[in-house]
Structure 1
Amino acid sequence: MSTLVWPPISPEELHKEEAATQRREIEWLLASLQDTLQSLKSGLNECAELLAPKEPGSTLVLSSLRSENLKGFITRVGTRIVKGDVQLRLPSLPPPKGHTSYKLSISSSPTAPTLVLEQLTTTRTLINACLDVVDATRWTGDATNADFISGQLRLLHDNIEEAKTALKGWTDNQHPWYNDPVDPAAFSPPLPSNVSFHLSISEAAVLLNVRTLESTYHNTGTNTPLSFSGTSAAQSYTGMSLRERLVGALGGQRQAFHDEAHEVFTFKGQEVRVRDKVRVESQDPSLLAAMAKLGASERNVALSRRALNIVMGKEDEDG
């Protein structure tokens, strides 16, 4: 098909017509983006609802794979863990006399410290920021200014992408377990000093890692269990099972059953090794739905940015 203009016009007139056509295309696209922004706001509001602190919350079952090392549940309300019981069966954490497992219970006392999932706090903050960007773009800015709308779409895309990344987990801003200890008083009775209880979000699932720890002494090159004070568990903890002590007495070496067995960490100002570690992941339907909606919103914004860049003649810019 021919692209010639008939009747022929001068190059100057052709340039004017091309500019006028581009202007009309931009005007049409900017007007249609208002509907896109309204749709994005609805999706973001749904995400905010999924993460809102609404009772009774989400109760998630915790169960270690192919073992009885960890069984229990936690209840999440918004960004907080408000209830939970975990039963542990670990060689380095013997249960109290008369029990078959060691129980960790999240305190229900109104004065107890709160267990907060910081990644969800970050996600909620970013979603609220996205809603503010949408409102500012629709009501307080110049809806006919392509450069303004382009900048707002870029900001919106960056915030949505960061919110989705927080739900996926393992971001640069996420604190490792040894730098993020929970307050022992968040549990009833308080969490033993040789136990690390670490909650995080990974791929929109709640991830729990429980570790038992022992001190590392540089002067001897040996490991000694962390001391306990004020609890009955402290007095019963020996740091080695009978089987491990027999293996050591016969000259054998203790086997490592987890990926951190030979590493040294600084935990609460003390260098420690991880004796036992159990990792449990529990899918959270609300978090999965929120991440899916954020992903859809991210794609919609990316398409809108690309369309606007093309019409503005900025095809080479990041979309």
Structure 2
Amino acid sequence: MSVDIWPPVAPAQLKIDEDAALARELNWLLDELQSTLKTLKASLEETYALLAPTDPGSTLVVSTPRHEAVKGHVTRVGTRLVKGSIQLRLKTLPAQTLALDPANPIHIPELTTLNTLLTQSVDILSFIVSESTNSRKGGGGGASIDPKFLSTQLRLLSEYLAESLALIKGPQLTDQAAVPDTAWTSSSVPPSCFAPPLPANLSFYFTLQDASLVLYLRVLEPADAPVNFGTKLALAIGTARRLEHDEADRVFGFCPEGADAQSPITASGSVNVPPKLERTRSIPGGRGGGMGKGRGTETQVYVREKVRVESADPSLLSVSAKLGALGHTLLLARQNLGVVMGDDEDELKVAE
């Protein structure tokens, strides 16, 4: 069964009519996208505001759930931890209390990078909406923004949002088990962020996982330290046993003072980066609660004890949910534009 046009139309004229119809459809779609883009911009600005450094900040509980090995709280303002107190009752350390120094806040690299990505995303949407509005005002006959330019900008925006969502979710625990995270060896929290300073044999390392702030505490010992004869005997006869964890019996190169190298961060908590953000597979700033690569002398260490504490952050959970919804809405808009423009569906997918 076939469909014929009556009266018959010459192939050349049919091509002209098809192009004209497609142009009208594209122009209509560009006009309809204006309301979608404005809604996206408003929602993205609300998401960005959740990371704004506003006082008094968010107070987060930092405590182990079923015992009191770690018990305390920290206060997050924007991308920084500005104050807090944590009591430690670890098996391999004397009981002590760690107090954050308000004069030296802890910067979370993932949050700093997330703030930068959201800033870039807001700038992109603001530019698109501005250009589209100017095109409609100055075009006379209802001219709209260049569809190819719009498609390119929306793809870039999709990549930024996807990177932001991946950053706040963090790596999957299964991936961590397969490829152990060793960023703590050179980017743990600087000892100067505590008053008094952090003990030299304690690694204090923050990261993000599933929109929660995760603290890793590691008690370290030099790899070449002699083992006490009493300890050897106790381990041999079974009256004592080693603490089991995924980093036991492995040697790491730890830079105790290397994390003091701070990245250039403004008073608002955002990082000073060039206007065009360099988007690479590795997130700038690394992972963990410190800044930069270790610059001190490496010490070969074992991890005697390791404790993981997860602190749910309502603001980060809200950011994660909003980013997911924004990404879905943006994908639908890109798909609609791509279909009318004749783009390949594979081109609409954000590279993972």
User: How would you bin the TM-score normalised by the shorter chain?
Assistant: 0.7 to 0.9
* SS of the residue 2:86 aligns to: strand
Instruction: Summarize deviations over 1:227-250 as a string: whole Å, max 9, x none.
Output: xxxxxxxxxxxx98x8x5651364
Structure 2 residue 36 is matched with structure 1 residue 43: no
Structure 2 residue 350 is matched with structure 1 residue 311: no
Judge conservation of contact 1:119–1:169 (CA < 8 Å) in 2: no
Judge conservation of contact 1:167–1:202 (CA < 8 Å) in 2: yes
The whole-number CA distance in structure 1 between the counterparts of 2:312 and 2:236 is 43
The whole-number CA distance in structure 2 between the counterparts of 1:167 and 1:213 is 28
TM-score by length of 1: 0.84
Judge conservation of contact 1:248–1:254 (CA < 8 Å) in 2: yes
Instruction: Summarize deviations over 1:174-231 as a string: whole Å, max 9, x none.
Output: 98111202221211111000000111111110000111000112xxxxx45xxxxxxx
**1:9-20 map, 5 Å:** 9-20=9-20
Q: In structure 2, what residue type is equivalent to 1:131?
A: V
Judge conservation of contact 2:83–2:105 (CA < 8 Å) in 1: no
Structure 2 residue 88 is matched with structure 1 residue 88: yes
TM-score by length of 2: 0.76
Structure 2 residue 71 is matched with structure 1 residue 71: yes
Judge conservation of contact 1:87–1:103 (CA < 8 Å) in 2: yes
**Residue matched to 1:275:** 304
Instruction: Summarize deviations over 1:266-289 as a string: whole Å, max 9, x none.
Output: 111111110111101011000010
5+ long unaligned stretches in structure 2: 136-143, 173-178, 256-297
The whole-number CA distance in structure 2 between the counterparts of 1:314 and 1:175 is 42
Higher-Rg member (1/2): 1
**Residue matched to 2:160:** 159
Instruction: Summarize deviations over 1:87-126 as a string: whole Å, max 9, x none.
Output: 111121112xxxxxx2111123x3xx22011111111111
**Residue matched to 1:135:** 126
The whole-number CA distance in structure 2 between the counterparts of 1:119 and 1:175 is 16
* SS of the residue 1:137 aligns to: helix
**Residue matched to 1:119:** 110
Shift of the 30–12 alpha-carbon distance from structure 1 to 2, 3 Å rule, reads: same
5+ long unaligned stretches in structure 1: 96-101, 218-222, 225-238
Which runs of 4 or more aligned residues in structure 1 lie more than 4 Å from their structure 2 counterparts after TM superposition?
Answer: none
**How far off its partner does 1:309 sit?**
1.0
**Residue matched to 2:141:** none
Shift of the 251–317 alpha-carbon distance from structure 1 to 2, 3 Å rule, reads: closer
**How far off its partner does 1:255 sit?**
2.7
Q: In structure 1, what residue type is equivalent to 2:323?
A: L
Q: In structure 1, what residue type is equivalent to 2:324?
A: G
Q: In structure 2, what residue type is equivalent to 1:189?
A: P
Aligned mate of 1:296, from 313, 321, 325? 325
Aligned residues: 288
* SS of the residue 2:123 aligns to: helix
**How far off its partner does 1:132 sit?**
0.9
Q: CA RMSD in A?
A: 2.4
Q: In structure 2, what residue type is equivalent to 1:53?
A: P
Shift of the 148–86 alpha-carbon distance from structure 1 to 2, 3 Å rule, reads: same
The whole-number CA distance in structure 2 between the counterparts of 1:216 and 1:162 is 38
* SS of the residue 2:330 aligns to: helix
The whole-number CA distance in structure 1 between the counterparts of 2:80 and 2:88 is 22
The whole-number CA distance in structure 1 between the counterparts of 2:13 and 2:182 is 61
* SS of the residue 2:199 aligns to: coil
Judge conservation of contact 2:110–2:167 (CA < 8 Å) in 1: yes
**How far off its partner does 1:260 sit?**
0.8
Larger strand percent: 1
**Residue matched to 1:103:** 97
Judge conservation of contact 1:204–1:288 (CA < 8 Å) in 2: yes
Judge conservation of contact 1:309–1:317 (CA < 8 Å) in 2: no
